[in-house]
Amino acid sequence: MRTFTFKEFILRLSKLPLVHQPGPPSTTRHTDVLGYLVEVVSGQPFDVYLSKHIFDPLRMIDSGFDVPEESARAWQTV
């Protein structure tokens, strides 16, 4: 499976036809668009920006986009 950078994703997303006219309900993944905007404005990868400016100052040590393998044991499937 090929992965895309935020920039590639936004360029591909911008070429797709709209599912419906803009406005609620929205099916756009706003976090992807926001993530790319944050990267462009800050000059940092989105995950690094969130860690530095949100998660670390708030001491949110278990927050992020992926669960590290060493932390996976703390998660339990019900």
pLDDT at 44: 94
Whole-angstrom distance, CA of residue 38 vs CA of residue 35: 5
Q: Assess contact for 10 and 32: CB atoms under 8 A.
A: yes
Q: What is the mean pLDDT of residues 12-36?
A: 72
Please determine, for residue 31, whether its predicted confidence score (pLDDT) is greater than 70: yes
Alpha helices in the chain (DSSP H): 6-14, 30-42, 46-50
Joined together, the tokens standing for residue 41 give 């404005």
For residue 24, what pLDDT band results from cuts at 50, 70 and 90? low
Return mean pLDDT, the chain: 79
Judge contact between 7 and 36, C-beta under 8 A.
yes
Mean pLDDT throughout 56-67? 82
CB 60 within 8 A of CB 54: yes
